[in-house]
Structure 1
Amino acid sequence: MDSGPSAIDLFCGAGGLSEGLRRAGYDVRWAVDYDESAVETHRENHGDYAIQADIRETDPAEDGPDIEPGNLDLVAGGPPCPSFSTIGRSKLGSLEDRSVDEDDRNVLYLDFLRYVKHFQPRAFVMENVPGMLTDTVTVESDTVQESLPIGEEQEVEQSPVGEEVPVTEVIIEEMEGLGYTVDKFLVDAADFGVPQHRERLFFIGRQIGKALPELTRWYTHREPTDREKDQQMQIRPELRDSTDKSQETFKTGLSSVLPPFEPDREYRLPYLTVADAIMDLPPISPDGEMPPNQATEYTLPPVSPYQEWARNVPDGEDWEDQPLRNHDARWHNHLDLSIYKLLGHGVGWNIGQVSTRLQPYRDDVFSDKYKKQNPAKPASTILAHMRKDGHMFIHPTEARSLSPREAARIQSFRDTYWVPESRTDAYRLIGNAVPPRLGEAVGVAVRQTILTDSHTDG
Structure 2
Amino acid sequence: MFDTNNSIGRVVSLFSGCGGLDYGFAHAGFNVQAAFDNDEHAVSCYNLNHFGKAKQQVIDESWSLEAPVDVIVAGPPCQGFSTGGGYTENDPRNSLLLATCRLVVKSKARLAVIENVAALTNKRNQEYLTQAQEILVKGGYWCSVQVYSAADFGVAQRRKRTVILARFGNAPFRGPIPHKTEMPTVAKAFRGIFSSLQAHNPKFPKPNSKHAVIAKRIGAGQKLCNVRGGDASIPTWDIPEWFGQTSSFEKQILTTIRALRRRNRKRDFGDADPVSLSEIKMEIPQVSQDQLTSLIQRGFMRSSDDLYDLKDTFNGKYRRLDPEDVSPTVDTRFGDVQLFLHPTENRGLTVREAARLQGFPDEFVFPEQEKEAYRLIGNAVPPPMSIQIAEACRELLA
In 1, Cα distance between equivalents of 2:93 and 2:101: 14
3-state DSSP of counterpart to 2:322 = coil
Q: Deviations over 1:13-54 (max 9, x none)?
A: 011111111111111111100110100000111266211011
Name the aligned partner's letter for residue 451 of structure 1: L
Tell me the residue number matched to 2:371.
424
Equivalent position of 1:19 in the other structure: 23
Please name the residue that 2:108 is paired with. Answer: 120
Return the offset for 1:215.
Answer: 2.4
Supply the distance in 2 between the matched residues of 1:208 and 1:177 (Cα, whole angstroms). 11
Q: Distance in 1 between matches of 2:224 and 2:204?
A: 20
Verify: 1:451 aligned to 2:397, yes or no.
yes
**What does 1:143-162 correspond to in 2, within 5 Å?**
none
- Please give the TM-score of this superposition, normalised by the length of structure 2: 0.72
1:298-329 Cα offsets, whole Å, 9 max, x none, are: xxxxxxxxxxxxxxxxxxxxxxxxxx110112
Kindly tell me: are residues 34 and 281 of structure 1, through their superposed partners in 2, closer, same or farther at Cα, counting changes over 3 Å?
same
User: Shift of the alpha carbon at 1:404?
Assistant: 0.3
TM-score (norm 1): 0.63
Residue 193 of structure 1 corresponds to which residue in structure 2?
154
**Out of 216, 229, 236, which is 1:355 matched to?**
236
Equivalent residue number for residue 57 of structure 2: 53
The percentage of counterpart residues that share the same residue type is 33
1:199-246 CA distances to partner (integer Å, 9 max, x unpaired)? 110011111242323323xx323xxxxxxxxxxxxxxxxxxxxxxxxx
Residues 111 and 332 of structure 1: CA distance in aligned 2, closer, same or farther (over 3 Å):
farther
Aligned to 1:313: none
Larger Rg: 2
Match of 2:216 among 341, 360, 368: 341
Q: Distance in 2 between matches of 1:116 and 1:358?
A: 55
1:12-411, aligned counterparts within 5 Å?
12-46=16-50, 49-56=53-60, 59-60=63-64, 64=65, 66-68=66-68, 72-83=69-80, 87=89, 104-136=92-124, 166-216=127-177, 219-221=178-180, 269-282=181-194, 295-296=195-196, 324-330=197-203, 332=205, 334-350=209-225, 354-355=235-236, 358=243, 363=312, 369-387=317-335, 389-411=336-358
Number of aligned residues: 313
* Structure 1 unaligned regions, length at least 5: 89-102, 138-164, 222-268, 283-294, 297-323, 453-458
- The separation in 2 between residues aligned to 1:191 and 1:206, in whole angstroms, is 24
Helix, strand or coil at the partner of 2:148: strand
Distance 1:394 1:349 in 2: 11
Give the 3 Å change call, closer, same or farther, for CA 170–47 of structure 1 in structure 2.
Answer: closer
Which one of the candidate residues 387, 405, 412 is aligned to 2:359? Answer: 412
Q: Distance in 2 between matches of 1:77 and 1:403?
A: 27
Q: 1:53 to 1:398 in 2, by over 3 A?
A: same
Equivalent position amino acid for 1:19 in 2: Y
* Residue type at the aligned position of 2:323: P
Aligned counterparts of 1:328 and 1:55: Cα–Cα separation in 2: 35
Shift of residue 335 of structure 1? 1.4
Q: CA deviation digits over 1:58-97, x for unaligned, max 9?
A: 521xxx3x423xxx21111110132357657xxxxxxxxx
Q: Secondary structure at the match of 1:386?
A: coil
The 3-state SS of whatever aligns with 1:182 is strand
Q: Structure 2: which amino acid aligns with 1:332?
A: P
In the TM superposition, residue 194 of structure 1 has moved relative to its aligned partner by 1.2
Please name the residue that 2:10 is paired with: 6
Partner of 2:333: helix, strand, or coil?
helix
Paired position in structure 2 for 1:436: 383
Q: Is the 8 A contact 2:159 2:328 kept in 1?
A: yes
Distance, in Å, in 2 between the alignment partners of 1:276 and 1:325 is 19
Matched to 2:361, the amino acid is R
* CA distances 1:121-150 after superposition (whole Å, capped 9, x unpaired): 11111000011111436xxxxxxxxxxxxx
Q: Distance in 1 between matches of 2:236 and 2:184?
A: 35
Shift in alpha-carbon separation, 1:67–1:40, aligned structure 2, 3 A: same
Q: Distance in 1 between matches of 2:388 and 2:360?
A: 14
Unaligned runs of at least 5 residues, structure 2? 82-86, 229-234, 245-298, 301-310
Find the aligned partners of 1:358 and 1:34 in 2 and give their Cα distance: 44
Q: Is the 8 A contact 2:33 2:53 kept in 1?
A: yes
Q: Which stretch shifts more, 28-37 or 106-115?
A: 106-115
